[in-house]
Structure 1
Amino acid sequence: MKILWRRRLIPTKIFFIIIILAILSAFILIERSLRSTIEAVAEAEANWSAVQAINTAVLEKVASNVRYADLVQLEKDINNRIVFMQINMILVNKIKSDAQLHIQQSLKQLERHQFRIPFGQVFGTKLLASHGPAIKLNLMPVGVVNIDVVDSFAEAGINQTRHRIYLQVESKVKVIVPLLSSEIPVKTQIPIADAI
């Protein structure tokens, strides 16, 4: 009787071990095939959120108080042609400092928000894009915000030139998704003043 019981128990154990191995193999295959897609969707969402936070911080807190005449001193000749331009570096440094402070505060607030991506969006089909359980996505600012002041000159008509001054902002954001995390660079350019 004991021998018969053991013979039935051994195939049952082997059957359960095979089932568990099959489930684990399927999970590993699905995870590997979907990892790059999940990472790409998460990085796109993180980049969009970080750029939005940076732009909002700069436009609401910094750029609204900046005038071109305060940033650039122009000297003209007797024919009213510009012969000399000088940037007000004290004001530029103050703008960079204010922008950096507000951007870091804005990015810090992203830590509190938990973004959700529908699982169906991972498959890349429009039919399933808004369906399925939500994948939780957390953002964490990494490192320091780097800001440079950049300007450009472009044609604006006959005998006219447009001068634009931008803040070029670079930072890094860490995307944390279940089973993976990655660091993505965030770069954006925000115009703060221009004149013709």
Structure 2
Amino acid sequence: MVLIVGGIALKWSVRRRHRGRLILLGAAALLLLTLVFLDRQLLPLLSQYSKTQAQWRVTRMINEAVTAVLGDEKADYNTLVTVTRDGEGNVVSAEADTRRLNMLKAAVTTAVAERIGAEREMTVAIPVGTLLGSGYFAGRGPFVRIPVGVSGGVLTTVDSVFSAAGVNQTTHRIEMTITVDLFIAVPTAHTSVQVETPFVIAESVLLGKVPDAYTVVTGDDQTTTGQIFDYGAERLQK
């Protein structure tokens, strides 16, 4: 009887170990499927959602920063550009206030950088139905909120742009472009996106006879000689 009992105990022990292996294999398979799902479905979706929301938020920050700075500085065409005319009213020169433009550019860059720095982390909310990858359930169900880290660098450029506006009329615009390179860190992955937003910060129509070519120096602290724009010079050289 002891042997029989021992035999029964032995059989039970073998079955228990076999069942334990099946449970481990099932758990490993489930973990593998979960990782494949995360890699193929969740991470690409999370990266795209993060890019979209980051672009929207940064664009809003840029708009707020530029609006605030221009309002404080009270910048307009007459304060940024000096137009000189001769006795007959013809345009002789258009000279930008390099110092004021550089100060304006620095103020905008600082304002944008401070706003981005204040929001180091944002939360991306994705509906559960969208995570499942089904078109029928997309956008449905409760939201899954995932923290995302954000950091970025800001580059601001100022350009002088001329365009024909009619007979003896030329439109002169001072344009500012803010470019933000964003680094977005999502769980187990990272991505990047560039947000570029142009603004017309000053504009005027130069009336009267305009010379075939003249030079506008806008300057730039990042270069030695500044930026020189020769309006019409290319046409004269042909």
**TM more than 0.5:** yes
List alignment gaps of at least 5 residues for structure 1: none
Aligned to 1:49: 57
Give, in whole Å, the separation in 2 of the partners of 1:195 and 1:121: 49
Aligned to 1:147: 156
Aligned to 1:107: 116
- 2:148–2:187 CA contact under 8 A, matched in 1: no
Give, in whole Å, the separation in 1 of the partners of 2:124 and 2:88: 58
| Higher deviation after alignment, 71-80 or 173-182 | 173-182
Matches within 5 A, 1:89-100: 89-100=98-109
Q: CA deviation at 1:113?
A: 4.4
| Higher deviation after alignment, 7-16 or 168-177 | 168-177
Which 4+ runs in 1 deviate beyond 6 A?
none
1:162 aligns with 2:151: no
Q: Secondary structure at the match of 2:195?
A: strand
Amino acid of the residue matched to residue 42 of structure 1? S
Aligned to 1:135: 145
- 2:125–2:143 CA contact under 8 A, matched in 1: no
List alignment gaps of at least 5 residues for structure 2: 1-7, 206-238
Give, in whole Å, the separation in 1 of the partners of 2:18 and 2:62: 62
Q: Secondary structure at the match of 2:110?
A: helix
Aligned to 2:197: 188
Listed one character per residue, the Cα deviations across residues 57-95 of structure 1 (whole Å, up to 9, x for unaligned) are: 111223562111111111123332322111100101110
Q: TM (normalized to structure 2)?
A: 0.72
Q: TM (normalized to structure 1)?
A: 0.85
- 1:54–1:107 CA contact under 8 A, matched in 2: no
Structure 1 or 2, whichever has the larger Rg, is 2
User: Measured at CA, do residues 175 and 118 of structure 1 come closer, stay the same or move farther in structure 2, by a change above 3 Å?
Assistant: farther
Q: CA deviation at 1:23?
A: 0.9
Q: Secondary structure at the match of 1:145?
A: strand
Matches within 5 A, 1:17-56: 17-34=24-41, 35-56=43-64
Q: Secondary structure at the match of 1:102?
A: helix
Q: Secondary structure at the match of 1:156?
A: strand
- 2:173–2:200 CA contact under 8 A, matched in 1: yes
| Higher deviation after alignment, 162-171 or 51-60 | 162-171
Q: CA deviation at 1:157?
A: 4.2
1:61 aligns with 2:39: no
User: Superposition RMSD on alpha carbons, in Å?
Assistant: 2.4
Q: Secondary structure at the match of 2:138?
A: coil
> Aligned residues: percent identity?
19
Amino acid of the residue matched to residue 47 of structure 1? Q
Q: CA deviation at 1:33?
A: 1.3
- 1:118–1:130 CA contact under 8 A, matched in 2: yes
- 2:80–2:96 CA contact under 8 A, matched in 1: yes
Aligned to 2:19: 12
Give, in whole Å, the separation in 1 of the partners of 2:136 and 2:155: 37
- 1:166–1:193 CA contact under 8 A, matched in 2: yes
| Higher deviation after alignment, 108-117 or 159-168 | 108-117
Q: Which residue of 77, 96, 99 maps to 1:87?
A: 96
Give, in whole Å, the separation in 2 of the partners of 1:189 and 1:173: 17
Q: CA deviation at 1:125?
A: 4.1
- 1:119–1:135 CA contact under 8 A, matched in 2: no
User: Measured at CA, do residues 61 and 120 of structure 1 come closer, stay the same or move farther in structure 2, by a change above 3 Å?
Assistant: farther
